[in-house]
Structure 1
């Protein structure tokens, strides 16, 4: 059983916690040490000396009646309370940033966090150039970007927006079709100079692994080159394109991954796809999501990505 002294100490700590009114300076201190993980780095963030940070944390822990950090070889490890308070501090920090932007721009600003998912290839060649065009106009809007090859992120509500290459987006999502995406067989000039054959069936093939079994390239190869077994497989189309650029073989690729490669023939008839910008129906009421959706729809100039490329042997 607990002793009378321990019970008294517990009650005193609860009383201290209930009576102390935490302030903005306290939250700033906690957030700095959570982010830094060490006194010296926290002192740099706060622009004070190390002893000031140490004394301030000890004073605050004494006022609250419980520990905020545990000292270890790895640095200062935050307790559950410190993490909770740091999260509140971040929200206050973001609110102040939004208020400042609102003052500077003289009106309401778009703020909040939008979670967006796409494949790594779409991220690098489609999304990032588009974001660079308009995101500077939204300093209070934060983006969380993840790369994935399926729609599970939106289905699980792990994301608010998705850029996807598909001919049949899920019916429970809403959005717009940004344009058609043709596919071609491509190779590096170096590989064509050394492979010793013009027969696609005799070339070294590079393909995505089984994570996208309905990929247009897979369907086309099974239809036209059923005897071909890929020599190389990769976990993403971006990795496939990198292997092709490395001169290891040929692959079926979308136009935005064909830069620097030589197309071997015309686009593959009947095996094209489409780029879709998608969201969940419940996100249409969120100003931040709607703003980003509309900006992306306007910024992605798809025609520039599907212009005809010179075909091998035609100059």
Structure 2
């Protein structure tokens, strides 16, 4: 299932060769690594001064080097504007390739220092903002320092389309029925409870749920368990606040604006929320760690997948 470890020289050579294929300069100028470092520094810095600091040279050296490189390539790399140096499409493409070469070089250095194989590459991970905040970030803090050559691209969304469109490699999703075309494991069960802040509870005249101010997910999450529960048990309630994420719902409850049914991993101790009653029976869901079948051949994805399976903790 797993491919061999990173072949550092090959990866770096392939990345640099990719730069030369991006352009078709009439002079057939051959880009080298200092050229790529120059372009990347100016794209990242956005100005000659910041690029000079990144490269640890003076501003005039950066200016002359850029002019010389553009002349050699026979086409512009940057446009001067009031906001700084704006990269052309060519410079942006070269900078993206330069980052890959930079990662390959860093992986090679780490491999030499550690005297062994290094997990490297970029893995794209998607989850909801509430899962990111309460579950994923603590897990990453526990194990990511052990993988200095592994890069993550994180995105927050509420659907499975990211994996289906191959926009992501791994997904963390709250669902009872994950899509059949994905593979993974269930990490645990998530229950929901109606919660409020202490301040809001003190302002109530009674404990009748229908008379409370409700906060709920909006139509972006029409099938959310808490929405289904409210419609079945409190059909006459019209939420005063609607949000497109459960993390936003939670923040409004914490601010004392009303009550909402929240997942138990957002309720824990010292979070300023007080549960009202027992968990909503029959409306729980599960946290799934998912990936595409083709990703199981990628060592970087498999490594991150296994680490998440070991380190993600439902409270």
Provide TM-score, normalisation by structure 1.
Answer: 0.88
How many residue pairs get matched? 289
Instruction: Note the residue ranges of structure 1 that are not aligned, 5 or more in a row.
Output: 1-12, 306-315
The C-alpha deviation readout for 1:252-307, integer Å capped at 9, x for no partner, is 011122132111111111111111111111111111111111000100122xx1xx
Which structure is richer in relative contact order (CA contacts within 8 A, separation 6 or more)? 2
Q: Is the 8 A contact 2:173 2:289 kept in 1?
A: yes
1:135 alignment partner in structure 2 = 144
State the 1:65 CA deviation: 2.5
Give unmatched runs, 5+ long, in structure 2. 1-23
Taking the aligned partners of 1:241 and 1:183, their CA distance within structure 2 comes to 12
Q: What residue is the counterpart of 1:78 in the other structure?
A: 87
Deviation at 1:209, TM superposition (A): 0.2
Counterpart CA distance in 2 for 1:54 and 1:104 is 35
Equivalence for 1:53 = 62
1:139-177 CA-to-partner distances (Å, cap 9, x unmatched) read 000000000011111111111111111111111111100
TM superposition outliers: structure 1 runs of 4+ over 6 Å: none
Query: Is 1:162 the counterpart of 2:179 in the alignment?
Result: no
Which of 260, 276, 281 is the aligned partner of 2:272? 260
- Matched with 2:304 is 292
Change (3 A) 1:224 1:31: same
Partner of 1:99: 108
Instruction: Tell me whether 1:216 sits opposite 2:225 in the alignment.
Output: yes
Cross-structure match for 1:313: none
- Aligned mates of 2:93, 2:272 — CA distance in 1: 50
The SS at the match of 1:276 is strand
Q: Is residue 122 from structure 1 mapped to residue 134 from structure 2 by the alignment?
A: no
Please state whether the residue corresponding to 2:140 is helix, strand or coil: helix
RMSD between aligned residues: 1.4
2:120 aligned residue (111, 114, 131): 111
Instruction: Measure how far apart 1:14 and its partner are.
Output: 5.1
Are the counterparts in 1 of residues 125 and 152 from structure 2 also a CA contact under 8 Å?
A: yes
Q: Give the TM-score, by structure 2 length.
A: 0.88
Name the larger-Rg structure. Answer: 1
Q: In structure 1, how many angstroms separate the alpha carbons of the residues matched to 2:111 and 2:235?
A: 60
Of 279, 282, 290 in structure 2, the residue corresponding to residue 270 of structure 1 is: 282
